[in-house]
Structure 1
Amino acid sequence: MTPEVVMDLFANGFYLAVLVISVIVGPALAVGLLVSMFQAATQINEQTLSFLPRLLVTLATIMIAGGWLLMKFMDLFERTFQQIPLLIG
């Protein structure tokens, strides 16, 4: 296995990790920003007010995008397993 092949495998895995993290964390970040702006405007400093909406949005995002993310993982693993004979030989 050459260093180029190893870097290609690493790049594919890293791209998938960044994609999964951005899909799951992005909506939670947006909701957290909206809740923080609401808290700053109303001067309410309740910890559960910022935690619960982010948790619910994260869970909803996983439920909605989970199938698509799972397909991305399966595609990566399938491509990697199909390339094993080419990588070894």
Structure 2
Amino acid sequence: MNSQMVLTTGQEAMWLLLMVSAPILVTVLVVGLVVSIFQAITQIHEATLSFVPKLIAAVLVFAIAGPWMLSTLVDYIRRTIESIPTLVL
């Protein structure tokens, strides 16, 4: 196993991490922005008002995209484990 293989594996893992976490992060970011604009317009500054919608949105995204996220991670782990014999010389 040379340094190029290590860097390629690390790059692939980082790309997978970004791809799997992006739906949740983008959804929570958009919901937080909408709630912040609502709070600024109405001048209601309640901490739970920003927390609860983000939590509900994250749960909904997990319910919708969870199977895809899980299958993507399982495929990556399966490929990584199956490549172990080729890495050991």
Confirm or deny that 1:23 pairs with 2:23: yes
Map 1:1-89 → 2, pairs under 5 A? 1-89=1-89
Report deviation, 1:21.
2.0
* Partners of 2:86 and 2:50 in 1: CA distance: 50
What is the RMSD computed on CA atoms of the aligned residues? 1.0
Question: Which stretches in structure 2 are left out of the alignment for 5+ residues?
Answer: none
State the identity %: 39
* Partners of 2:22 and 2:16 in 1: CA distance: 10
Report deviation, 1:50.
0.7
Q: Could you tell me the TM-score, scaled by structure 2's length?
A: 0.93
Report deviation, 1:26.
0.8
Letter of the 2:18 partner, please give it.
Answer: V
* Partners of 2:29 and 2:41 in 1: CA distance: 18
Q: Could you tell me the TM-score, scaled by structure 1's length?
A: 0.93
* Partners of 2:85 and 2:50 in 1: CA distance: 50
